[in-house]
Each structure stands twice: as structure tokens, then as C-alpha cells.
Structure 1
Amino acid sequence: MLKLTYTESSFDLECVTLSLEEWIAQRVIFALRVGQGLSIEPTTASFLLPVYLPGVEVLRSEVKRDDRKIIALCACDAEYIEVTLRGSWLSANSKDSVGVFVTIMSDRAEFFLQKLWHEAQSCASVMSE
């Protein structure tokens, strides 16, 4: 399962070994125990990747093989592509922009996407120094 955590200032992307159903069940139980509201909605989430990253072409071929249409790519400009994923949004309420987005794809696609995202973060931190 791929998990994207959105905060007020950034987001984090990670692979989780739990099944989607098991992870959501744990989140629901946690919310009940702490008395927190929880909204779960099917939706999409997007983030940008630099087009120059080694492996972007491999990602494009993975997208073409995806029969379930979980992932889509769109050129933003000459430097970035937008990665859009279909999945579920979990937050305190349905209008909240802080929360967690989860989706499932093949293990290979999840780990590859995570690798590209981490490479993009590394490149961004080097460029800002």
C-alpha cells in the first residue's frame, strides 16, 4: 500500500506493508479510541516529479501496463510531470486539506514510485543548498 501524508506545509510518501483494509481498520479504531472524527472518501491525490529523473520513462511504461487506471501522468511543463493516483482520503473531516491518502498498486509500482519520489526530494535538497 502506498501512503501519502499531507500536512500544512508538505507531504510524505511511503510504502506500508499492511493491507489497505487492515490499515484503514486500525485508523478507524484509533479515531474511535481518541474521540476524533474521521472522514474516508474515494478521491485522487497528485504530486509533481521532475521529468529529468532517471526512471521517469520506466514509470511511463508502468502506467501503460496498469489496467486498473490507478495512476496517471500528465506533463505540467518542460520540467515536471504530475502523478495522479486514485485511492482514499482520510482526514478529520471531508473538507480538511491535512490528512492521509492511501492507494494500492502492484508492489513493484509502489516501490518504484517511492524511489522516484525520494530521488526527487534528494535532488531538491541538493539544489536548495
Structure 2
Amino acid sequence: MTFGGLRLLTWLIHVDASGVGNVSAGGVHIHHYVWGILLLMIVGACGLVERSPRWHVWMGLAYGVGMALVIDETANLIDLKDVYWDKAGWTSIAVALLIIAVAGSLLALTHRDRDVQKGSS
């Protein structure tokens, strides 16, 4: 959901339809993978000190959001330049769809295995 929302938001910024602009500091555009890396660092640090299952759910959600922020700009990280709206930017979409497919398949398989184990107990 975060990946889709990011694509929509960046497209709205790109076509200047949202009234929202890019985040900049000192005239330099700050790509959203920076926020993703920061979020992943925070979640990692919290994971080292917080052992509560309740917090693990929230950290898992934040981890997923951070990953989406980074994965959405994979092409920029590979080329080390802003190719988000160029042909090379499709690399980010391909990587994201591949990760979503693999993660979704793994989750479906692990839930199916849990259901089978519960039924045989």
C-alpha cells in the first residue's frame, strides 16, 4: 500500500496537481529513500531494545513502510542520479513488484503451513 501511495503522491507532485512539493534542504531535493533509511535505522534500534510482542507489530509496520520508501527509489540508488521519471526508473517498479510477489508468496505459504499444522494437532 505504501509503494502505491508513494507512486501516486510522486506523480501528483510531478504533474504539479497536488499542491504539495518536494522536500528540499538548502536547495537540494531530499529523496524519499532517505526517509526510508532513517525509518529503518529507527526500527532496527527499537528492535534491539524493545521485546514486547505488541511493539513488534508496530515495528513490523514501520519496517514495511521504510522498505517501500527505499525500494520505490531503487533505480535512483543504482544509477546514483535522479532517474525516477526516466525509462531507467522502471527498475524500481520491477524490483518492487518482484519483492511484493516473493513476500506475498512466502506469507501465503507460511500461513497455509500453520493452518495445516493446527488442523493436524
Say which structure is richer in strand: 1
TM-score (norm 2): 0.30
TM-score (norm 1): 0.29
The higher relative CO (CA closer than 8 Å, separation ≥ 6) is in 1
Larger Rg: 2
